[in-house]
Amino acid sequence: MSQNLSDGVVRDLDQAARYGESINTESHRLNDMIDKVLHFSAIRSGQYQYVLHPVDIRTVVESEIEAIGRYSGREHRLATMFEEDLPLVLGDSQALRSVVRNLISNAMKFGKDDAAVSIEVCKSEGRNGTRIELAVEDSGEGIPSSEVAHIFEPFYRGNVARAGQIQGSGLGLSLVREIVAAHNGRIEVDSQEGQGTRVVVYLPVVGKGGLRGSRV
């Protein structure tokens, strides 16, 4: 497409606009894939240094939704619900943005085209006190029970992704798990075939005595 545009083969303005939109979408997808590979490699090699500070998780989620809308035009599929007066999360803002981005991207890819993806952020009480819950839910085909145990493996792609030729690197959830673990958090997946998938990330909040957060 880019070659045709540069060579002047495409003269119709509408067709040129469609070409430009496709190039833009694919360039963002390629950039996202490269970011995942580099980030995952840095984490696994111990070269990624987390910079922990108080983070407003609502701001992180809203900024990622805005970014997704800019290059995909599909922000209308995202339904959000934020609890009021959320405590701050102890985290690395860039790494947490990656968590949110990957969870939403997965839900949009595997959810039904005409159904919204639900994003909910609230606080709850865990064994060690207050924590933040970030839940992303789709209404897609769900994950077969035989595959649930493997979805966090690097480069793993299930039968639904392969059969449906859904684009992806198989690194998203593996990267999410690595980041969440580094934040003393945890992640849960609830999925049944034909009934969609709900992924919940639990993150520690800033402690009363300072920045240190407890494992949740």
At residue 71, the pLDDT reads: 62
Which strands sit side by side in the sheet containing 129-138, from one edge to the other?
78-82, 117-126, 129-138, 197-204, 186-191
At residue 134, the pLDDT reads: 97
> What's the pLDDT tens digit per position in 15-73?
888 888 788 777 777 877 777 777 777 777 777 888 899 999 999 999 998 887 776 65
Confidence of residue 113 (pLDDT cuts 50, 70, 90): low
Q: What are the backbone dihedrals phi and psi of residue 88, each rounded to the nearest 5 degrees, phi first?
A: -75, 150
Could you identify the residue written with the tokens 């709850």?
124
Quote the Cα angle for 70-104-118, to 5°: 105
Exposure class string for 116-141: b at 16+ Cβ within 10 A, else e: bbbbbbeeeeeeeebbbbbbbbbbbb
At 94, the amino acid letter reads Q
- The answer to whether 33 and 169 are in contact (CB under 8 A) is yes
30 exposure class (CB count in 10 Å sphere: 0-12, 13-18, 19+): exposed
Indicate whether 86 pLDDT > 50. Answer: yes
Is 200 in a helix, a strand, or coil?
A: strand
User: Residue 215: beta bridge partners?
Assistant: none
Mean pLDDT across the stretch 139-168?
68
User: Residue 132: beta bridge partners?
Assistant: 123, 203
- Give the separation between CA 197 and CA 106, rounded to whole angstroms: 10
- The answer to whether 113 and 79 are in contact (CB under 8 A) is no
Three-state helix/strand/coil letters over 144-195: CHHHHCCCCCCCCCCHHHHHCCCCCCCCHHHHHHHHHHHCCCEEEEEECCCC
- Give the separation between CA 35 and CA 9, rounded to whole angstroms: 33
188 exposure class (CB count in 10 Å sphere: 0-12, 13-18, 19+): exposed
